[in-house]
Amino acid sequence: MVILGIESSCDETAAAVVDGDRTIRAQVVLSQLEEHRPYGGIVPEIAARAHLDHADRLVAQAMDRAGLEFADLDGIAATAGPGLIGGVMVGATLGKAIALAAGKPFIAVNHLEGHALTARLTDDLDFPYLLLLVSGGHCQILAVLGVGSYRRLGATVDDAAGEAFDKVAKMLGLGYPGGPLVEAAAAKGDPGRFTLPRPMKGRPGCDFSFSGLKNAVRLLVEDLPHPVSDRDAADIAAAFQAAVTDSIADRVTHAVRRFRADWPAGRALVTAGGVAANGALRAALTGLAEKEGLDFVAPPLGLCTDNAAMIAWAGVERLRLGLTDTLDFAPRPRWPLDPGARKLGGAGIKA
């Protein structure tokens, strides 16, 4: 089985060709970082136009690298939500058009399912497993039970973790995107100089919150001489990263306990999303998994951040089960993986 995947839900335009035997035959990703940098964040309209400008060329490139024609494919999978709707429409419509022209099945993929199933592409992992999904748009913990079968154990009630990294970077004058810059600054800082709150730590359940922490950083920064010195920026970045890591580790510990009680066959803690690139967070999760007797699985960075191989792979998994979609499938700005979960206010449901 060989599937073309298309991703366009945020600020990456991507196309990939993936085999049923878990081989990535080709994968191309185009980041729109430079288009958005002057605005210090993603501008949805700019994102949609950039997807429109590049998506068909990237698909042609991926097909070319795979050495295949559309007629050789078994199906076309495209992200159909959740995400910035203008971009989602571009990728989903392109996917439908190719499916129609080539007479192949179309698979509408939930972007989050792409992230959730990546560990099966990279590590051939069995269900069930526990997934921490932390990126600029998503922050949630899911029990992954099967294709199309998820239980959300927790999600953020306000901002996503990556969003908090990006805002803090902006406050410290570090630039965009913030995560890697905050991590680099933190490496030179003293996490003990400033005391920051650990949101939700010790509370029952597995939900996250980052807006209070973000505001605590804002208050700290307001009291400092401006422009913020390198020393101050490094110390605040270190304190912030330690607080986020501590808070996430506490939430994941709660989730692990619940996961083990409800799904004792589960063996792995998996992480995905851009924030999963953070070294301090990875170290904390590695230690936590070891203590709890779970394997820790973190796909390589290029498959943690947004990409089309994960969309093609989700297409493989769905097509194997006969789960295809009709061409009138409507792209969705919101599309929770666990529709039964209660509604939250923040990026937990966006993502």
Side chain identity, residue 348: G
Distance CA 214, CA 194 (A): 14
| Minimum gap (Å) between residue 149 Cβ and ligand KG4 | 22
* 131-139, 183-191, 247-255, 260-268 -> range binding Zn ion (CB under 5 A): 131-139
Q: Which residues bind ligand KG4 (CB under 6 A)?
A: 10, 135-137, 162, 165-166, 177-180, 183, 273-275, 277-278, 305-306
């196309």: which residue's tokens?
Answer: 15
| Minimum gap (Å) between residue 279 Cβ and Zn ion | 20
Residue among 292, 298, 300, 301 nearest 267 (CA): 292
Of the pair 142, 319, the CB lying nearest ligand KG4 is at 142
Distances (CA, A) of 211 to 216, 319, 347: 9, 40, 11
Site size toward Zn ion, by CB under 5 A: 2
Q: Which two tokens stand for residue 151?
A: 């239980």
Residue among 168, 153, 118 nearest 278 (CA): 168
Of the pair 196, 272, the CB lying nearest Zn ion is at 272
Of the pair 153, 347, the CB lying nearest ligand KG4 is at 347
| Minimum gap (Å) between residue 31 Cβ and ligand KG4 | 9
Neighbours of 93 (CB within 10 A): 18
| Minimum gap (Å) between residue 162 Cβ and ligand KG4 | 3
| Minimum gap (Å) between residue 82 Cβ and Zn ion | 9
Interacting positions 216-255 with Zn ion (CB under 5 A): none
With CB under 5 to 8 Å by kind, the binding choice for 154 among Zn ion, ligand KG4, none is none
Q: Which residue is nearest to ligand KG4 (CB)?
A: 179
Task: Strands of the chain (E only): list them.
Answer: 2-7, 12-19, 24-31, 75-81, 106-110, 129-134, 139-146, 149-155, 268-272, 295-297
Q: Residues in the site for Zn ion, rule: CB under 5 A?
A: 135, 306
